[in-house]
């Protein structure tokens, strides 16, 4: 299996899987209650931590983040989970919204390779990362949120607040393809 998508009960987790299938990227949607050993036995090349309604329902995700030695991409709740696991700070957004926003790409990195300096994305801002953990850098921000995307400085661990799997993020497939390319390195 190429990519394990951890289902955190978000409304778009199945769309992540379908988008990867459109890109010919093998993937499997699995529950967040699977054990670390079961996930390791699947031998994924990368992990996507899907979105969801609550940080209280993330199952074994923190254990996956700390113990899997493969690239990880956290989307929305997955992004917040990565920040929380490494000591960042997440809180309820001052301006809660669910809309298309303009993303300012501060560091193209491997995840935003070929995208440019800005990108329209569909983002959910109910909860958001307000302080990145040590050893993380901010890759993108917006006028709604200071940490729309982040990356660990030494490990291939990425978090994004927005949803690349929906049609309102027109170049979302490129972001998934870039993540897959990271997994293949």
Catalytic residues: 76, 163, 165
Beta bridge partners of 100: 122
- Rounded Cα distance between 69 and 66, Å, is 8
Q: At what angle do helices 13-22 and 172-184 cross, to 10 degrees?
A: 70
CA distances from 130 to 61, 125, 150 (A): 20, 12, 11
* DSSP annotation string for 131-182: EPPTTEEEEEE-SS-S-SEEEESSSSEEEESEETTSTTSTTHHHHHHHHHHH
Q: Is the dihedral of CA 122, 124, 128, 130 positive or negative?
A: positive
Contact 154, 147 (CB under 8 A): no
Count of CB atoms situated within 10 Å of the CB of 14: 14
């Amino acid at each position: 299996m190429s990519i394990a998508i951890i289902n955190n009960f978000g409304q778009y987790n199945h769309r992540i899987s379908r988008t990867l299938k459109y890109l010919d990227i093998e993937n499997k949607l699995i529950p967040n209650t699977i054990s670390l050993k079961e996930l390791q036995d699947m031998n994924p090349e990368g992990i996507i931590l899907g979105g969801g309604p609550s940080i209280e329902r993330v199952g074994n995700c923190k254990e996956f983040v700390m113990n899997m030695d493969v690239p990880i991409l956290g989307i929305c709740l997955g992004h917040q989970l990565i920040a929380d696991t490494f000591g960042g700070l997440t809180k309820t957004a001052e301006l809660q919204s669910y809309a298309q926003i303009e993303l300012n790409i501060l560091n193209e990195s491997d995840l935003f390779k070929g995208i440019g300096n800005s990108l329209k994305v569909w983002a959910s801002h109910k909860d958001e990362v307000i302080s990145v953990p040590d050893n993380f850098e901010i890759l993108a921000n917006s006028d709604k949120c200071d940490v729309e995307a982040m990356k660990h400085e030494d490990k291939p661990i990425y978090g994004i607040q927005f949803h690349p799997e929906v049609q309102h993020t027109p170049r979302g497939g490129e972001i998934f393809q870039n993540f897959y390319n990271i997994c293949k390195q």
